[in-house]
Amino acid sequence: MRSRTVRIILLLLMVMGFGLVGPQKSEAQVSCSTFEETGQEVCYDFLQYWLDHGKLAQQGYPITGRIQERSETDGQVYLVQYFERAVFELHPENEAPNNVLLSLLGTFRYKEKYPDGAPGQEPNNTPGSVLYNETGKRVGGVFFDYWQKNGGLAQQGLPISDEFTEKSDIDGQSYRVQYFERAVFELHPENEPPYNVLLSQLGTIRKKTLEGTPVNFTTTDGVKLAGSQYGTGSTAVILSAICSPDGKDGWTGFALNLAAKGYMALTYYYRGLGTSGGRADMTLLDTDLHAAIAFARSQGAKKIVLAGGSCGGTISLKASATEKPDAVIVLASPLTLPNIEVSTDELKNITVPKLFAGSADDPFTARIEEMYALAVEPKEKLIYPGRAHATDIFTTEHGDDLTQKLLSFIEKNVPAR
């Protein structure tokens, strides 16, 4: 995480006019494999686990690169990689092979889809079936045979449901299924063994949930931008990213929290980044933000909250002069970007509630302190220990506190309804 922060700071310094040495060619990686089907690379411990634990049949193809993510199981942040049927978590504190563990995707999906338990469950009482006292569920027949032959407890986890019929989120067909902590077994009697039992693509489903609803909107100069909308509602929170290619992802967890609270949350790629069109241009970031605000209003938003990290915070403040939002959140942002400057007069004229946040050892936090001193009431300030930059704070031990304080600030000042 620290190296990611350094890269972001160097990028900002570069675009603000400080000379830097150009990027150096990295050494060729070893023990890696690129999957042409998805264009994703799997390396080192993750690749070894994939090879040793069922490969394509058990794990599926990789569908993301390696990312930092906070676990829903224990609240800790791990390096993870998504596959079609699983999510790998790196646990360097453990000896191999337990240094790679699988996220409890079956548990997460079951709780999300069936908070009161799945209807129509039928325990498998065929000869040889086993009751697991830990969960009170039985496994038998072809599902038990598959469980035993394909990793058992370590790979699949305990059963958390009995068998029932479910419509697939992937192909819309109905299958006999059973949920386990780390997987969902699907019965395919039309296939010959061992393909008569297949695993649901829980990794694909979870990734789609995290991605929100894909949206597109066009800037006033004709550039088509790509974004993700989470939830609906009359209050929209526009989340502007840090200045890095994957910066949009830094807001994903918070966007999901907002949607659960009844807000519309919008994340987006700046022009030339991700799946947005055009060429990257730091001088037009505010134009991109204005397009995102216009889109939210076209979707029914009556109130607007602007929140941004690093350069996203700068343009959020700048836009406040003309867009008149109902609240503003700024995480570790400079006052000046190329051709974009928040003047002292503009800052003093922003009279809506404002929250400024950063990390004590982040070089840009000095700007946060300056902004806070110049800003008029109502205003709040959060400074955390460490050097995590902007949305990277979400991946630290202070992430939960930052999430709750930002949510409280928004709910207090701009209710969802």
pLDDT score, position 327: 98
Q: What's the mean pLDDT when you consider all of the chain?
A: 90
Q: What does the alpha-carbon distance between residue 212 and residue 83 come to, in Å, rounded to a whole number? A: 18
**Residue 1 has what pLDDT?**
43
Q: Please tell me the predicted confidence (pLDDT) of residue 3.
A: 42
Q: Cα separation of 337 and 339, whole Å?
A: 6
Q: Where are the beta strands (DSSP E) in 200-291?
A: 213-218, 224-230, 235-240, 264-268
Q: What does the longest C-alpha to C-alpha distance in the chain come to?
A: 79
Cα–Cα distance measured from residue 399 to residue 312, given in angstroms and rounded to the nearest whole number? 19
Terminal CA-to-CA distance of the chain, rounded, Å? 36
| pLDDT on residue 169 | 87
Taking 70 as the pLDDT cut, the residues of the chain under it are 1-30
Kindly report, residue by residue over 313-353, the tens digit of the pLDDT. Answer: 999 999 998 999 999 999 999 999 999 999 999 999 999 99
Per DSSP, what are the bridge partners of residue 186?
177, 198
Q: What pLDDT is stored for residue 90 in this prediction?
A: 94
- The token pair at 353 is 């509630």
Task: Report the pLDDT value the prediction gives residue 25, as an integer from 0 to 100.
Answer: 30
| pLDDT at residue 316 in the model | 98
**pLDDT single digits (tens) 8-19:** 433 443 333 333
pTM over 0.85: no
Structure confidence at residue 400 (pLDDT): 84
